Amino acid sequence: MEENDFLNKMENLKKPGVNADASRLQMKLVLMNTKKSATWGIWLLVIPIFFFCCVAIKYLLHWNWRIAGGFLDWMADVDRSMSFPIVSILLFIILPGIGAIANLLSVMHFMYDKTTKELIVTIKVKWINIILAVISICIIAVVLLYAVSENSAERAIKKYDIEWRLK
């Protein structure tokens, strides 16, 4: 009798349904691997950070190290030899920009919910990737700030030089 009761109960059990919304919520789009982007981010920042260290050694600390002076002289020669400073733009804007984008995309996950028409962005806390992205953005900001201030100073000197000659 117990066996028949058990079989009846098993036949009358409610079958579980599949909820597609739950599986859709769990799927997140991972754009990049965090370890690979951190490694690439470090390599993309080596030359700009080395340049800033050489500038600090030579001009701020007034140490006369041949490697720092030689690297800065080499960078100045490369910039002077070209009509457009593509090497500087590549080393100080494009490479850190690629590093920042790669590191930010590796910690950010995107999901689009069609039913509610929402884009859900989640950020995974991987400190090395976040720090590398911040350093990359800071390098770009310093270089752009320097370019703007240098250009403004040059224009101001030309403007006041012309006004002074007219008087």
Tens-digit pLDDT profile for residues 118-150: 888 888 889 999 999 999 999 999 999 988 898
Residue 103 lies in a domain: yes
CB 71 within 8 A of CB 57: no
Name the nearest CA neighbour of 70 among 85, 50, 86, 87: 50
Give the Cα separation of 101 and 95 in Å (integer): 10
**Does the pLDDT at position 100 exceed 80?**
yes
Tens-digit pLDDT profile for residues 105-118: 888 888 887 888 88
DSSP at 116 = T
Residue 142 lies in a domain: no
Give the Cα separation of 52 and 139 in Å (integer): 9
In terms of average pLDDT, the best of 67-81, 82-96, 124-138, 147-161 is: 124-138
Mean of the pLDDT values across residues 91-97?
91
Q: pTM value?
A: 0.69
Tens-digit pLDDT profile for residues 2-46: 778 888 888 888 877 766 555 555 555 555 678 888 888 899 999
Residue 165 lies in a domain: no
Identify the domain containing residue 127 by its residue range: 30-137
The residue with greater pLDDT, 66 or 84, is 66
Residue 157 lies in a domain: no
Residue 17 lies in a domain: no
**Does the pLDDT at position 159 exceed 90?**
no
CB 64 within 8 A of CB 12: no
Residue 97 lies in a domain: yes
Residue 93 lies in a domain: yes
Q: How confident is the model at residue 152 (pLDDT cuts 50, 70, 90)?
A: confident
Report how many domains make up the chain. Answer: 1
Residue 105 lies in a domain: yes
Instruction: Tell me how far the alpha carbon of residue 143 is from its chain's centroid.
Output: 15
